Amino acid sequence: MMLTDLPKHWVPEINLLVKELGYTGEVLVSDEGDAVSKIGANVFDVARQLIDSTLVGLKATATIYVAVVADAERSFQACAVELGGDEYCILIWLAAVARTSRALSRLLETPSSVDFFKLNVAAPKIETVPQGQDTFTAYQAISLLPNASLGETGDQFCSHLTSMALEWLVLHELGHIVNGHLAMGGSANDLRYILEENPSASQDENLTGQALEVDADCFANQHCLHRSLNRPNILDDSAAHEADLLAGRLKAYLFSFLSILRSFEHSPFAIETMFHFDHPPGGIRMNYLLAQMLAIENEGKVNFKGVDLAEAAAATTAALERSISQATGINSQGGNFLSVISLSDDAFRKPVLSRWAKIYPELNAVKLTPGKLAPPQYPPA
Ligand SMILES: [Zn+2]
């Protein structure tokens, strides 16, 4: 089993980078024949194949290695690194995959998810124990519980959702690399990097970070959307009309990527602190990606075969939030989404997309693909 294709001399350098970034993790190198090695090898395989096929499609020629980081603190992270000489590396924390799988299993056993996916789980769990102060800390807490057992079909569906979430994360990192974002990344151990959770004290730097994140999100969403609609899963009903089949796959995809976006968020949304972070608040990221899907539909780039995308998105977000409430015992009353839906364009889109317009020429000059980046929608600022 292979765990990384990173050339040997880079391993200590990456380990030092990880340490300088404040993590107690190391690149998995040798197969110990244990469960950790097995999961690590699987993450490596999935990421490797996905990156290779995506790079071919994009006509990009860079060398991008994959490394899986085992972290004693079970931190949830991912990182894109520029090694120099047209070589890059994507780091995926093993805990990001393990914790996503655990959280998803806890969500899928709730009455909300059982009903939403028509899952055949004998006795949906209704009793919950409060796992934190708010749904964000609580959601993180349930990702540290052991996997819930969902029966054969449920377990298979859970691993389907987990692998889609992992692919989303890998493609998000790939988006940072091929769209030239590392030119604006941080620097440690003489390497340029973009780390998923890396807030700056400077709101101006965070604004640039958020513009890059929106772009990486859109890159991942575009690729994953195509893949997920063509991807069979255990809940596919072969007798169903094509639209119903697609609607089911779409809901599974939405649920998986929304669940991972939600994991990067630590506190309820507050407009005053929105630019204290290098990532847009999860609710805003979700909203933006749903808007991107509607644009993809309008441009006729994907044939949704009559599926009502907006309705599927609204139903999935509601089901996810209800599942989180039921699994954690903490009810947000849907506030996580309602608070961003009413947000004016001036609050988020204008500042972040104006920043995108400002950095656009520099990114276009260093991106790794012949295609154009997403055109600016606002004057640069
Ligand atoms: Zn990112």
| DSSP characters over 6-60 | S-TTHHHHHHHHHHHTT--EEE--S--SSHHHHHHHHHHHHHHHHHHHHHHHHT-
Name the nearest CA neighbour of 348 among 270, 268, 264, 255.
270
The length of the chain is 381
**pLDDT at res. 131:** 67
**pLDDT at res. 303:** 86
Residue 181: count of CB within 10 angstroms of its CB: 27
User: What CA–CA distance (Å, rounded) separates 9 from 13?
Assistant: 7
**pLDDT at res. 157:** 97
**C-alpha 307 to ligand 1 mean position (Å):** 30
Cβ atoms of 94 and 35 within 8 Å: the answer is no
Cβ atoms of 326 and 135 within 8 Å: the answer is no
Cβ atoms of 30 and 3 within 8 Å: the answer is yes
Scored b (16 or more CB within 10 A) or e, 40-59 reads bbbbbebbbebbeebbeebe
User: What CA–CA distance (Å, rounded) separates 346 from 362?
Assistant: 25
Regions of the chain short of the pLDDT cut 70: 126-131, 334
Question: For residue 358, with 0-12 CB atoms within 10 Å meaning exposed, 13-18 middle and 19 or more buried, which class applies?
Answer: middle
Cα of first residue to Cα of last residue in the chain, in angstroms, is: 49
- Looking at the DSSP bridge assignments, the partners of residue 87 are 63, 84
**C-alpha 3 to ligand 1 mean position (Å):** 23
Question: For residue 213, with 0-12 CB atoms within 10 Å meaning exposed, 13-18 middle and 19 or more buried, which class applies?
Answer: buried
Question: For residue 325, with 0-12 CB atoms within 10 Å meaning exposed, 13-18 middle and 19 or more buried, which class applies?
Answer: buried
pLDDT digits (tens, 9 = 90+) for 259-315: 988 888 877 888 888 899 888 988 888 889 989 999 999 998 888 888 988 899 889
**C-alpha 280 to ligand 1 mean position (Å):** 10
DSSP letters, 127-166, are: -----SSSHHHHHHHHTTSPPPP-HHHHHHHHHHHHHHHH
Any idea where the domains of the chain sit in the sequence? 10-366
**pLDDT at res. 97:** 93
Cβ atoms of 177 and 271 within 8 Å: the answer is no
User: What CA–CA distance (Å, rounded) separates 37 from 17?
Assistant: 22
**C-alpha 352 to ligand 1 mean position (Å):** 15
**pLDDT at res. 213:** 96
User: What CA–CA distance (Å, rounded) separates 179 from 369?
Assistant: 7
**C-alpha 245 to ligand 1 mean position (Å):** 31
Q: Residue 187 is inside which H or E element, if any?
A: strand 186-188
Tokens of 248: 């089911």
**C-alpha 84 to ligand 1 mean position (Å):** 20
**pLDDT at res. 362:** 96
Angle between helical axes of 242-263 and 282-298 (0-180°, round to 10): 150
**C-alpha 373 to ligand 1 mean position (Å):** 16
Tokens of 213: 């994140």
**C-alpha 77 to ligand 1 mean position (Å):** 10
**C-alpha 184 to ligand 1 mean position (Å):** 12
**C-alpha 316 to ligand 1 mean position (Å):** 23
User: What CA–CA distance (Å, rounded) separates 228 from 349?
Assistant: 27
**pLDDT at res. 127:** 61
**C-alpha 194 to ligand 1 mean position (Å):** 7
